[in-house]
Amino acid sequence: MAATLAAQHNLDEEKAATAGLMYDLAKYYKPQKLLQMARAEGLDIDEVMAEDPHLLHADVSAILARDIFGVNDEEVLQAIANHTLGRPGMSQLSCIVFLSDSLEPGRGNTSELQALRKISVDNIARAVWLTCDYTLKVLLESSCLIHPRVITTRNWFFQQWKSNGTRCRA
């Protein structure tokens, strides 16, 4: 999905495919291993990540992509690291990978997901904002912790869409 979205937005399909294939390298790591690797890398581990170390799998996946697979393209590594929580001001490639993770066909085929997939083809900033809204709704219904970066990502992209309606990055 990342490569397809990249093509639709005239972005580098190879970079998108690389990030799309590697963003979950650490998805099934045990919480202690995620914490250990994040600490060894000097990553900031906030209260929510300490409580739910699975949130670190994105950052640790970027570390694995760099250290094991030799990925040295910083934009690809950032796209991997940002695929779960997003980040205010993230690049278009990061947006594509973020959307691909949240909207890939394995997530289901509800009318809401179908609508978000269509929006992701039309307007990246709007898709990121609305995908964050969708994620927040799911997390609230599940009584899960919510990382503040999801909210700051949502707000940043909402403001971008409101300002110009077409661009992912100012």
Report pLDDT digits (tens) over 118-151: 999 999 999 999 999 999 999 999 999 999 999 9
Neighbour tally for 117: CB within 10 Å: 20
Neighbour tally for 96: CB within 10 Å: 34
pTM tops 0.85, yes or no:
yes
* Average predicted confidence (pLDDT) for the chain: 94
Q: Which of 85, 76, 170, 78 is nearest to 128 (CA)?
A: 85
Q: Domains of the chain (ranges plus CATH)?
A: 2-164 (1.10.3210.10)
Tell me: pLDDT of 45 over 90.
yes
Predicted pLDDT of residue 164: 75
Contact indicator for 99, 124 with CB cutoff of 8 Å: yes
Tell me: pLDDT of 169 over 60.
no
Predicted pLDDT of residue 165: 53
